[in-house]
Structure 1
Amino acid sequence: MAEIIENSNAKVHILVDEKLGGIKREYVEVDRKAEVDEKIVIVEKNDFEGYENGDVFTVDRDFHSEMDFVESDVAASHGNDNGAIYHDEYHVLEPTDIVHINGQRYEMVDREGEVGDKVIHVYKGESNGIVRDVRKAGDDGVDVDTYEDEGELYSGFYHGYYCVLVPLDKEKTFENKHNVYKELKNLIHNELGISRQDIQEMISNAVSNEVQKMSESGKLDRIAEEKIESLIEEGFRNGGRLLHGFKERVTQTVSDEVGKRIANVLNINVELKEEGN
């Protein structure tokens, strides 16, 4: 049985889309008569049928112009050899432009891809469902990482043969990242026995060592000299008198520049967290 999402407008089913190479896609449940090749879901089965409410089938034959049912080979059973399903038993599952890839929801958008975009091949009759990142965009198409199709290697998609994948659920993605952060923090504190003070001491020692290296190599002097000269020139523009707060500005500027270089060398990424987290 498919995964179902309830919302205020319609019931959404998450199903594998064979036409997209087995990628999961969201389908909206609609009360209308089905056409051949459409997916349907049983919502109110008749008595004595071999299928159950919630079962999903693909329509193989459509008799809605002559009779009151469609047929699906998979729905066939004893007493229902042709897999007949009456119109009042099912709802049609209409495909949306939303797909699920590696746990992330994306909307398939029909536009030309740009460098860094994630794209999916959707052209009829080709290797649909191939997902790649755009490395280069041109007039005729986009270059992507190579892929193999029936023994031949390809390295791009023509415009019109793909859709751009626009990520959805940013809040959910942030929540997942926050959960990973909490798990990592618990691992550090509980499993490894490393306290906040230990981490602060590690960073402090690393910064001290880096400052010492910069000082010994002359980098620290050059940084201070360049920034101070610039501030002095700026300060004396005001009638030959240093601006108020000159000393504090020099101190803060040099401190900021040294901090940036240390962070770059140590690959430290510091983010402010909201109070209470």
Structure 2
Amino acid sequence: METNAKIHVLADETLGGIKREYVEVDRKAEVGEKIVIVEKDDLEEGYENGDVFTVDRHRPGKSHVESDEARCGGNIDGFILREEYHVLEPTDIVHIDGRRYEMVDREGEVGDKVIHVYKGESNGIVRDVRKAGDDGIDVDTYEDEGELYSGFYHGHYYVLVPLDKEKTFENKNNTYKEVKNYIHNELGISRQDVQEMISIAVSNEVQKMSESGKLDKIAGEKIESLIEEGFENGGRLLHGFKERVSQTVSNEVGKRIANVLNINVELKEEGN
């Protein structure tokens, strides 16, 4: 499918009216295909650009088509010139309950969501697979359109693979890039500027903690605990006591500052 092709989301009667994505293609239409008016030729026609029709007839040897839906007083046959339309080709992507899924031709597994598609019979029925067998799958049973469905044969359905997660990740990634580009290009803020901002914010928070007495409290609690632990070894401080006090207090203060600033600060021990 062309990456720049225009996409239309329309109800697909062959899938029980489920919304399906169609792509515009500039070619001759066949009977039964959907077309969209892209360049209306006659101002007196009853249709407008963007209108969608189903092709009912075509002229032998010609690319022009006819659609009963396009009939009007001045065009009793619903005649549409080849230059006026593009064909709408169905894709494998459908919209169900506000989510996008790709219809994949493989055997269903327990937990998969599937859609029934087989020779126009009860198409568009969507179910969750609860058991998979050699001949088909068992699905969750509940009444739908007056009938009860308990299973589908292999080859009579497609597995619905959700596309929302991929889309969400892509959107988040694009948003991050947009914000990053805006910061660097529009605001003229460099990585060094951001680091300096964080440094200043950390310094301010340390000063606030010190002035309020929180810093002394944190340090006091940690040091007291380490001193008790250190003198357990026959009244002698453990080796590396000074370094442990420094690192422990540093880690604790860093965590609290990170929580206040809502930033991710990773403290590493020296030598790592």
Deviation at 1:53, TM superposition (A): 0.4
**275 and 15 in structure 1: CA distance in 2 versus 1, 3 angstrom threshold:** farther
Answering whether residue 53 of structure 2 is matched by residue 57 of structure 1, we say yes
Deviation at 1:174, TM superposition (A): 6.9
Deviation at 1:150, TM superposition (A): 7.3
The 8 Å contact of residues 127 and 139 in structure 2, kept in 1 or not, is answered as yes
TM-score of the aligned structures, taking structure 1 as reference length: 0.58
- Whole-angstrom CA distance in 2 between matches of 1:119 and 1:107: 10
TM-score of the aligned structures, taking structure 2 as reference length: 0.59
- The answer for the alignment partner of 2:85 in structure 1 is 90
Answering whether residue 55 of structure 2 is matched by residue 21 of structure 1, we say no
- Whole-angstrom CA distance in 2 between matches of 1:116 and 1:68: 47
Residue 140 of structure 1 aligns with an amino acid whose one-letter code is: D
- Whole-angstrom CA distance in 2 between matches of 1:137 and 1:8: 36
- The structure number with the bigger radius of gyration is 2
- The answer for the alignment partner of 1:180 in structure 2 is none
- The answer for the alignment partner of 1:267 in structure 2 is none
Residue 54 of structure 1 aligns with an amino acid whose one-letter code is: G
Deviates most, 42-51 or 165-174: 165-174
- The answer for the alignment partner of 2:122 in structure 1 is 127
The 8 Å contact of residues 28 and 63 in structure 2, kept in 1 or not, is answered as no
- Sequence identity of aligned pairs in percent? 80
- Whole-angstrom CA distance in 2 between matches of 1:105 and 1:170: 10
Deviations 1:84-103 (A, max 9, x none): 11111000000000001111
Deviation at 1:9, TM superposition (A): 2.4
- Whole-angstrom CA distance in 2 between matches of 1:131 and 1:274: 44
Residue 156 of structure 2 aligns with an amino acid whose one-letter code is: Y
Answering whether residue 107 of structure 2 is matched by residue 115 of structure 1, we say no
- Give RMSD over aligned pairs: 2.5
- Whole-angstrom CA distance in 2 between matches of 1:60 and 1:20: 20
- Whole-angstrom CA distance in 2 between matches of 1:17 and 1:44: 24
- The answer for the alignment partner of 1:38 in structure 2 is 33
Deviation at 1:108, TM superposition (A): 0.2
Deviations 1:203-226 (A, max 9, x none): xxxxxxxxxxxxxxxxxxxxxxxx
Secondary structure of the residue that 2:14 maps to in structure 1?
helix
Deviations 1:147-177 (A, max 9, x none): 557755330000000000001131545799x
Secondary structure of the residue that 1:88 maps to in structure 2?
helix
The 8 Å contact of residues 119 and 162 in structure 1, kept in 2 or not, is answered as yes
- Whole-angstrom CA distance in 2 between matches of 1:111 and 1:8: 25
**57 and 158 in structure 1: CA distance in 2 versus 1, 3 angstrom threshold:** same
> Which residue, 156, 164, 167 being the options, matches 2:162?
167
Any stretches of 5+ residues in structure 1 without a counterpart? 1-6, 177-272
